[in-house]
């Protein structure tokens, strides 16, 4: 499914790419629509270059693989794997400093590489995905539902924000702002890291999200429209201070709730973006409490733990994918996803559906 | 000099406080007007309780001291010392966690303790200062000019922002936003920590500040009104990335310059406050570069190193104090300070002048 | 029960101490024999000063409390609490830097303060314990068995070694060397922190310890006498590297196992001591893998989380206390404890038993 | 100069290697004999594979370079550069985690790659050195003496031990154990990082080393054979505690001095190795003071700052190279170096000498 230009999604056939020593071909089992996919779909990012095959939340099977790649990834033909969104060039200073999500080549599946020249298959809204030399894969156990496997990189986001960027330590209190897939992944990562209590503030429009928040480990769920959140957060904390807050929506009001709730030395991870719009923050609150406001982007080196969490099957991660469409109906699926129905959370695409 | 109410500064006589085992009395040699003093002078902080003796940037001599205090501070009568602004209650959880600047009692010289009940002398715009049990003192060598000694806690701010909050490491690049005393202290702390290059962006109205910035170790000084700062910063960095920025003015524009200049994983320490006004920050810049925005307040445990820097005499710190008035002219000095003449930086008060 | 000199444990009666504003009296409900108590009992530490009341793993009820202490600890008469071993002087540089376990006064219940002058009751092998101004207490829920409550400070050790000293992060692999109470507490702390896998190497003499290790969360338990531990550890790790090892026995061989097992940048926390005997370590292994060997002592600020773990009742902590004696039989209990029977782990003393 | 087998160093001629897009050829200007070179020369490491061209402390000029390599290194033909010892494979997990000194390929100039197949020139005891795709280079200013430039990677070791592994922060006290080139480099790195005081303990046999220690910034130099070092260290510290010690000799006694001297939470970096021999350490000292003993190996990502220090010309680094021989006399130079004359520190080889 090629996005030829904004809003024009068409079926294309490409020859399967040649696979040599250091790359592979993935037969896509399922891909889910990332919350960021509509940005490219609607052409809201003027840096996007078309034509583009969308899709980077993906699970599939190795169809073909070169010898060197097989050794490096420890996988062989037939292996079930997820593929990380970011592709490392493995040459630039950032890749070699351990930050391949800041790679100077800036390659990421479904986002930055045009599909009009071979190997074409740089996105997972497709039957096959090209596995570049700098791709990173993680084995997925057979027992894991495809929908859960697709969300591995999203769980990786949660791990990054809680552990790597937020430096969350066992026993610390955490506030998660939002209840979409990114926030739900953050709840799971918080639970895994032994944070407690886990407090969630979210709009109450979608009860399924709030249910899942509780299922995944939230101790307290506060509905933004019904209650004044800061007094409720304080009540949930009792005598304790709030150590960590993670903002997953991009809403200015959520940031304000987080800064107000944090205690001295508290940390606020910002994961939600705003399409370039600034947000007004309480600078004095940051200074007088010596708060840290920490940007949290991708999942370099965090997906490894995410894959273990997904394979561990302690959380019904697949329940976040509330609807699945055949890949050929991708345009309809995208419209459905963007319309955000009452009980819709995440949407999957099935290439053989 | 008692600030009886906003803008009413009167001379008062108080009986010298009784000194017992765990406290002391300081004969004030000099006090400088902190950039925050006008807030209390003008009554801009509605939490301020009057009457108040201002002043916490102070050097003096131990006039009287209890046995326990003498042992603990390793000083005796006649010793020349600076006294830190923050007073620890030494009982609350925050003092015992190493963060006495967040002490739940919130006592600080010249800011929070009223002068209308004994021991009265809770501010340094005075001939004597009461040394409470939780006060912290550092010996000052005889060779150090009084004006330099008064600025020890300001240097302590710089140390906190560069080292403790900013986690500045040898060889890192640093951008300092502003050129007032706080920024100048930050330059000194950056130089001491081996940061390089040290780039300063400031308004060019006061050439003396820019001269001192260079004297203290700034490699590049950029005048905000004459040049577009970000291209100049980039040029000064060459192929390198900006690791650390420290904002000392509270100006939204300065924060924007810092966020724009920082590279991936860069840190922006916010030290300037805004009287409660929020500031609009580039959230996407913070997220996409995984920047940390770090509040920097006081100098818990940072003044010890500051005192060594002051005693080391490698920087002509006293040159920041461009004017001195007799203490009895404190009101006039305050007006002079607030009018901020062309070559005025910091102003001292001399109790015997 | 006063230890008048090594091996001479006698019943004494003392007047109950006067309680003023900042202290309290605890009626002891139960105390457990710390693994270090035999050192004082047998006089193996030449710094020990007698007479001494042993005991610092204690739970009880507030019998009497001053107003200030009640506010600070948020407890009132009748409250059930555990008391931390370390007593902060709250004045020295170390207490105020957050490290009261390094307090220059060096006061700790049951270890360092002689009982021959008032308030006498500086140890918990007693009906009452004196709660000094610098004592630290944590409420214990009524549902918690006394034996579990006594072990709160031991769990605090585990928290310190895993979280504070070992910097254990969610998803990291951990090797615990030993299976005594300290090691078992470390397993619990590792589980809470989301470490995985948890691998234990221990001598197999006491099967109950190995059972508890598994109950508390060990994924793999390796018996030192039956198997060559390093190949088994490697097998348990699969393709992963060992991130953290925690040595709880003081045995040189255990340290060697840990260093050999760790991967690059691995951390080895040393918690077991050796009565002054050095141990030969593989220096080249430390250098060539850039390993960190980290001393782990007491539980400053770690007992707070331990108390939450104990109150959370997710682990049958009380099962570590395999035997209980009446306090009046303390000497016999001590001999029993030291003889270390086959299924003995930890021993409690009941003052009303 | 090929080391055909232990102690047999012979002149060989090789064809210059073909240079393609991603590699380069260096014309060697000077190479210095690393303290580790005698290990290979004498065949003391049974893992060494011969024939081998020794040498990895090198400066030279780019003779030929591929387009991609020129872009990546920002250098062109004629540029004067130093080449790091470690070569990154840029594919393995460790290279991509920022730790190329732990690269699974384990390639390093002059140590691990045999010279019997093309491109042959894997060591700098040669007129030319082959610049592999994973080599790392840093420009050296024309004004820098060749002897100083050769020591860039040694300065990089000091930077690693002080900054990266030792986490040395401005104002901290440091003890450096030894006064050879590695220790001298550590003094320079300590000075750059603003550590103070810098205390050195060394054997006094070579007065030139002690002189250089002082020249580079040591505040106190203690001769091991003349004085009892620990009381002298305590005296030099006054009321302060020792924060950091760096052991550069591998001697057990030096480690003991370091552990005894450190205060609570002190860090001891171990950089000296022992040919596989363990060393007895004071475990109780490590535990009771919660000391960290930190292995320090190579200079991944530390050489960049080292190159800036070398180019900055603030230290007469070249004075460490006390003697230079023509390359053709490498065998004699090696014997001279190993005999370690009274005023010999480091020895250079000049290919055109």
Residues B102, B326: contact at Cβ < 8 Å? Answer: no
Give C214 to chain B, closest Cα distance, Å. 35
Which residues of B sit within 8 Å Cβ distance of A?
94, 99, 102, 165, 250, 255, 264-265, 270-284, 286-297
- Please report the pLDDT score of residue C250 as a whole number: 97
ipTM: 0.97
| pLDDT level of residue A46 (50, 70, 90 thresholds) | confident
- Which residues 6+ apart lie within 8 Å of D170 measured at CB? B159, B162, B163, B168, B170, B189, B192, B193, B194, B305, D193, D194, D195
Residues in chain B with CB shorter than 8 Å from the CB of A287 are: 270-273, 295-297
CB pairs under 8 A between A and B: 107
> For an interface test with B, which of D156, D194, D304 has the most B Cβ atoms less than 10 Å from its Cβ?
D194
With contact defined as beta carbons under 8 Å apart, do B270 and B293 qualify?
A: yes
pLDDT in tens, A177-197: 999 999 999 999 999 999 999
Which chain D residues have any C-beta within 8 angstroms of a chain C C-beta? Answer: 94, 99, 102, 165, 250, 255, 264-265, 270-284, 286-297
Q: Which residues lie below 8 Å from residue D56, measured CB to CB, with a gap of 6+? A: D31, D34, D83, D85, D108, D109, D110, D111, D123, D124, D153
Query: Taking CA atoms, what residue in B is nearest to D159?
Result: B170
Q: Nearest-CA distance from D39 to chain C in Å?
A: 15
Chains that touch B (3 or more CB pairs under 8 A): A, C, D
Predicted pLDDT at B205 = 87
Inter-chain residue contact D97 with A72, CB threshold 8 Å? no
Q: What residues does B270 pair with on adjacent strands?
A: B247, B295
pLDDT of residue A53: 96
- When pLDDT is averaged across residues A111-120 and rounded to a whole number, the result is 93
Q: What's the CA gap between D339 and D38, in Å, rounded? A: 11
Alpha carbon distance B54, C323 (integer Å) = 64
Report residue B300's pLDDT band, with 50, 70 and 90 as the boundaries. Answer: confident
By CB atoms closer than 10 A (0-12, 13-18, 19+), residue A263 is: middle
pLDDT, averaged across chain B: 96
The whole-number average pLDDT for the span A91-100 is 94
Q: Is it the case that residue B89 has pLDDT exceeding 90? A: yes
d(CA B217, CA B176) in angstroms, rounded, equals 12
Q: Which residues contact D339 (CB under 8 A, 6 or more apart)?
A: none
Cβ-Cβ contacts under 8 Å, B90 against chain C: 90-91, 95-96
Poorest-pLDDT segment among A201-205, A313-317, B130-134, B317-321: A201-205
Q: Where do we find the tokens 């457990």?
A: C32
A197: nearest CA partner in chain C = C308
Residues from chain A contacting residue B278 (CB–CB below 8 Å):
280-283
d(CA B55, CA A291): 27
Q: What per-residue confidence (pLDDT) applies to A205?
A: 87
CA distance D145 to B48: 62
User: Dihedral of the CA atoms C277, C278, C279, C280 (nearest 10)?
Assistant: -140
| Residue B235 burial (10 A CB sphere; 0-12, 13-18, 19+) | exposed
Per-residue pLDDT of chain C (353 residues; tens, 9 = 90+): 899 999 999 999 999 999 999 999 999 999 999 999 999 999 998 889 999 999 999 999 999 999 999 999 999 999 999 999 999 999 999 999 999 999 999 999 999 999 999 999 999 999 999 999 999 999 999 999 999 999 999 999 999 999 999 999 999 999 999 999 999 999 999 999 999 999 999 998 899 999 999 999 999 999 998 999 999 999 999 999 999 999 999 999 999 999 999 999 999 999 999 999 999 999 999 999 999 999 999 888 999 999 999 999 999 999 999 999 999 999 999 999 999 887 899 999 999 86
Chain C residues whose CB is inside 8 A of the D281 CB are: 278-281
Q: What's the rounded Cα separation, in Å, for the pair C2 and B176?
A: 63
**pLDDT at residue number C342:** 76
Nearest to A170 among C192, C196, C239 (CB): C192
A19, β-bridge pairs: none
From chain C, pick out residues whose CB is under 8 angstroms from the CB of A162.
170
Chain B contacts to C (CB-CB under 8 A): 72, 88, 90-92, 95-100, 301
- What confidence tens digit (pLDDT) does each residue in B75-84 have? 999 999 999 9
State the nearest Cα–Cα gap between D305 and chain B, in angstroms.
Answer: 6
Pair C152, C56: CB distance under 8 Å: no
Chains touching chain C, criterion 3+ CB pairs below 8 Å: A, B, D
Rounded Cα gap, residues B205 and B341, in angstroms: 10
Three state DSSP letters for B184-250 = HHHHHHHHHCCCCCEEEEECCCCHHHHHHHHHHCCCEEEECCCCCHHHHHHHHHCCCCEEEEEECCC
* Residue among C255, C274, C290 minimizing CB distance to D165: C290
Give the DSSP H or E segment for B156: helix B152-159
Residue A242 preceded by cis peptide, ω within 30: no
Q: Using the predicted structure, report yes or no on whether residue D119 has a pLDDT greater than 80.
A: yes
pLDDT tens digits, D132-167: 999 999 999 999 999 999 999 999 999 999 999 999
**Which residues make beta-bridge pairs with A134?**
none
3-state secondary structure A248-302: CCCCHHHHHHHHHHEEEEEEEEECCCCCCCCEEECHHHHHHCCCEEEECCCCCCC
Chain A residues inside the 8 Å CB shell of B265: 99
Residue (of C177, C176, C180, C211) closest to C196 by Cα position: C176
Q: For residue range A269-294, what is the model confidence (pLDDT) as tens digits?
A: 999 999 999 999 999 999 999 999 99
* Distance separating alpha carbons of residues C147 and C313, to the nearest angstrom: 12
Per-residue DSSP letters for B32-85?
E--TTHHHHHHT--TT--SSB----EEEEEEEEE-HHHHHHHT--TT-EEEE-S
Distance CA C59, CA C81 (A): 6
């Amino acid at each position: 499914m090629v996005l030829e230009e904004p809003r024009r999604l068409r079926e294309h056939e490409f020859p399967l790419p040649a696979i040599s020593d250091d790359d592979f071909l993935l037969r896509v089992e399922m891909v889910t629509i990332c919350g960021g996919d509509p940005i490219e779909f609607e052409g809201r990012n003027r840096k996007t270059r078309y034509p583009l095959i969308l899709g980077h939340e993906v699970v599939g099977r190795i169809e073909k693989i070169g010898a060197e790649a097989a050794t490096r990834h420890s996988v062989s033909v037939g292996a079930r794997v997820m593929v990380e969104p970011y592709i490392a060039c493995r040459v630039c200073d950032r890749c070699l400093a351990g930050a391949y999500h800041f790679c100077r080549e800036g390659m990421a599946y479904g986002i930055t590489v045009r599909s009009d020249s071979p190997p074409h298959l740089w996105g997972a809204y497709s039957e096959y995905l090209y596995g570049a030399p700098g791709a990173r894969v993680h084995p997925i156990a057979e027992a894991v539902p495809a929908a859960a496997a697709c969300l591995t990189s999203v769980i990786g986001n949660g791990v990054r924000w809680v552990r790597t960027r937020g430096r969350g330590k066992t026993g610390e209190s955490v506030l998660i702002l939002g209840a979409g897939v990114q926030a739900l992944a953050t709840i799971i990562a918080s639970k895994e890291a032994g944070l407690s209590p886990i407090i969630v503030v979210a709009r109450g429009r979608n009860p399924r999200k709030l249910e899942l928040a509780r299922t995944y480990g939230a101790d307290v769920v506060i509905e933004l429209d019904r209650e004044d959140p800061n007094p409720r957060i304080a009540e949930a904390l009792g005598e304790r201070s709030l150590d960590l807050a993670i903002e997953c929506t991009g809403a200015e009001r959520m940031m304000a709730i987080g800064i107000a709730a944090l205690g001295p030395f508290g940390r606020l991870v910002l994961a939600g973006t705003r399409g370039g719009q600034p947000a007004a923050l309480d600078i004095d609150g940051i200074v007088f409490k010596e708060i840290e406001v920490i940007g949290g982007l991708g999942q370099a080196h965090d997906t490894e733990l995410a894959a273990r969490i997904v394979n561990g099957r302690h959380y019904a991660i697949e329940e976040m994918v509330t609807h699945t469409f055949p890949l050929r109906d991708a345009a309809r699926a995208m419209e459905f996803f963007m319309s955000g129905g009452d009980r819709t959370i995440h949407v999957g695409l099935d290439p053989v559906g």
